[in-house]
Amino acid sequence: MLSPHFRATMQAVAHPLSTRRTGSRPGSARAPVTDFTGAGDDDVRFPPVTARASGKAGPVKLKLPFRAPLCPDNLFGHLVATAVPGVEEWRDGAYRRTLRLPHGPGIVSLRPQADHVACELRLTDPRDRSLAVGHCRRLLDLDADPAVIDDLLRRDPLLAPHVDRHPGRRVPRTVDGPEFAVRAVLGQQVSTAAARTLAGRLVIAHGEPIDDPVGGLTHVFPSAEALAALDPAALAMPRTRRRTLIELVTALADGKIDLDADGDWARTRQQLGALPGFGPWTVEVIAMRALGDPDAFLPTDLGVRLAARELGLPGTPAALARHAEPWRPWRAYAVQYLWATGNHPINRLPEG
């Protein structure tokens, strides 16, 4: 039986514009690309192509537009600082990663520019081009309207200076909801470096090998179905973490939990919270980055709490959550501004 995630993927291939022109959730500051580029239908389906296209014959090069401003520092910094070896890398000024697509794996390179993100796709099959472009836009949160979001957040006098200093922060999201959920479990109560190591080991042992002709990418992250089929003893991790991971991937593979961005966010939160080992932080970080909820909030996150203390915001999770009520429906973006106050690699655009 196909999982809801895979069915949604196939529907997106059949109707690549279905999620791009039907508007957004109430209160959303997202809009179709055509709302601010003046592009026609062809440009929405395939953003402007600047070089030859098609599959393994050569890379597809495109420009991905966005609403200005866009602060690339935390966006690309977060993706690179948490990159899984073999699946993601920063090379020659671009974030690169592998993609799981319906007709075979792909590789994308994303390079921030002043008025667009330069995108280079290497696909097994050109039929996956629209879907791959959609994944990239979602990953970089390129359909957000920073003017609307920042205008609300700067009403808080304690946040305003940080919004004004680097406006246009986006929420780094994901190209694959189940992948991010697995990585969230691996990252529970460990450092960023330890989480990368755990995920890298999982990829080497169970991921899908891929050829990268121009870089160091080696695998596609293992699917929930592949992980659910494993003997739990094959997972090199503590017993409680292993149980949490197996429960998650089994629910994903069986279609009991749907991490599609267009799903029922409240229901998904409830289902995730019922899994063993899932606390509020894990549920909300998945809601933020996998479901794409712009109002997801992490008052228990250590980085958020340290930032709150530095800015003079309430120090306890409950008090901070109360203070953050006026930040709705953009609390996920407030988290980016709070995280940005710290001296951590996630806040810096990588060099080289």
Separation between Cα atoms, residue 191 and residue 82, nearest integer Å: 10
Find out whether 341 and 311 touch, Cβ atoms under 8 Å. Answer: yes
CA-CA distance, 171 to 180, in Å (whole number)?
Answer: 14
The catalytic position among 141, 156, 260, 301 is: 301
Instruction: Check if the beta carbon of residue 205 is closer than 8 Å to that of residue 218.
Output: no
Catalytic residue list contains 301: yes
**Distances in whole angstroms, Cα of residue 168 to Cα of each of 32, 95, 183:** 18, 19, 26
Beta bridge partners of 220: 208
Distance CA 160, CA 312 (A): 13
Q: How would you class 243 by CB atoms within 10 Å of its CB: exposed for 0-12, middle for 13-18, buried for 19 or more?
A: middle
Catalytic machinery residues: 301
